[in-house]
Amino acid sequence: MKNKYFLIFLLLIFIFVSCQRRKETTNSSDSIQIKGSDTIVNLVQVWAEKFVDGKNEISIGVTGGGSGTGFAALINKTCDIAMSSRKIEVEETNLAMDGAVFPFEFVVGYDGLAVLVNKNNPVEELTMAQLRDIFTGKITNWKELGGDDLKIVILSRESNSGTHMFFKEQVLRLGNVNAKDEFSPRSLLMPSSTAIFDEIEQNPHTIGYVGMGFASDLVKTIKVAQTKGQESVLPTVDNVLSWKYPISRPLYLYTDGDPKGLVKDFIDYALSDKGQKIVEETFFVPIKKGK
């Protein structure tokens, strides 16, 4: 009896050790290291899993840490692909050129959020500043925005959601990295985008945000303007692609120079129909107009 357990124990150790080994030998030519933005780390992870599926000789490592971390790693040549939710800065490009690294940019998808209200809400359009005041709790009644005399109920996603973070950075802090604005503590944190949608559909007090793919005719999608006086637009694929819609951003992969070999295969895969379908499935906007 005891011997048996011991054997199983030994086997477990063996498996454990052999797994460890594998990690150490990833620096060969048939492995890719990808680093960068936490926003799209899940998307890239799915790509990587599907890409390696059935090819035992390839391994892909995907780590988050933020867009800046990804660029730093690309410049230091410690990763093959940097993923980013913002464009590379001029300073970073200069640094890279000094080290004979030539960042090559690929837009692999978009991240866009629709702001929704109930169908019976007369409010049609809002500016970014107004959205900020609503979600931080400064404006508490629809009356102040030209609507009915109803209290505003804020619907938000859970704080771990990438959507929540993106909305906070882009709208509540208006892109300012040093800002400290937070969602009003009165905001309702809903477990899913569907839950937000359902509540908005039947409650005229509410305002919420979901990935663009979720918006439909059952609720009203708010037109958003960057600043007062500017044209306010709906979050359509066209408006996101032409940068008119303010609550959106492209998602990038960066490589060192024109990609070759496995790195090229991976990026081709990401841009292929299959790869773009995964973009859609992970609630981002694919680069090509879908159905």
Partner 1 sequence: MSNDLRKFKDKFIEKIIFFCGILSIIFVILIFSFLFKEGIAFFKDFSPIKFIVGQFWYPASKPPQFGILSLIIGSIFVTAGACIIAVPIGIASALFISEVAPKGIRDILKSIVELMAAIPSVVIGFIGMVSLVPLVRSIFGIPTGLTAFSGSIVLAFMAMPTIVTISEDAIRSVPWQYKEGALALGATKWQTIRRIVLKAAMPGIIAAIMLGIGRVIGETMAVMMVTGNAAQIPHTIFEPVRTMTATIAAEMGETVKGGLHYRALFAIGLVLFSITFLVNFIADLFLGRGKKK
Contact residues: partner 1, CB under 8 A: 150-153, 158-161, 164-165, 182, 185-191, 195, 198-199, 202-203, 205-206
For helices 41-52 and 273-281, the axis angle rounded to 10 degrees is: 140
- CB 206, min distance to partner 1, A: 7
On whether the CB atoms of residues 252 and 85 are closer than 8 A, the answer is yes
- CB 165, min distance to partner 1, A: 7
- CB 158, min distance to partner 1, A: 5
- What are residue 84's phi and psi, to 5 degrees? -150, 150
Q: Which residue, 143 or 288, has its beta carbon nearer to partner 1? A: 143
Rounded-to-integer distance, Cα 67 and Cα 196, Å = 29
Q: What is the 3-state secondary structure (H, E, C) of 158-215?
A: CCCCHHHHHHHHHHHCCCCCCCCCCCCCCCEEECCHHHHHHHHHHCCCEEEEEEHHHC
- CB 263, min distance to partner 1, A: 28
- CB 103, min distance to partner 1, A: 27
- CB 179, min distance to partner 1, A: 11
Q: Which residue, 87 or 164, has its beta carbon nearer to partner 1? A: 164
Nearest Cα neighbor of 155 from 184, 123, 126, 119 is 184
- CB 136, min distance to partner 1, A: 13
Q: Which residue, 106 or 167, has its beta carbon nearer to partner 1? A: 167
CA atoms within 13 A on the CB side of 111: 21
Q: Which residue, 105 or 281, has its beta carbon nearer to partner 1? A: 281
Q: Which residue, 64 or 275, has its beta carbon nearer to partner 1? A: 64
Q: What separation in angstroms does the CA of 128 have from each of 91, 119, 132, 149, 175?
A: 28, 21, 6, 22, 11
- Listed in sequence order, the residues at least 6 apart from 248 whose beta carbon sits closer than 8 Å to its beta carbon are 110, 111, 112, 113, 212, 235, 240, 285
Q: Which residue, 58 or 139, has its beta carbon nearer to partner 1? A: 139
- CB 113, min distance to partner 1, A: 17
On whether the CB atoms of residues 221 and 113 are closer than 8 A, the answer is no
Rounded-to-integer distance, Cα 245 and Cα 280, Å = 19
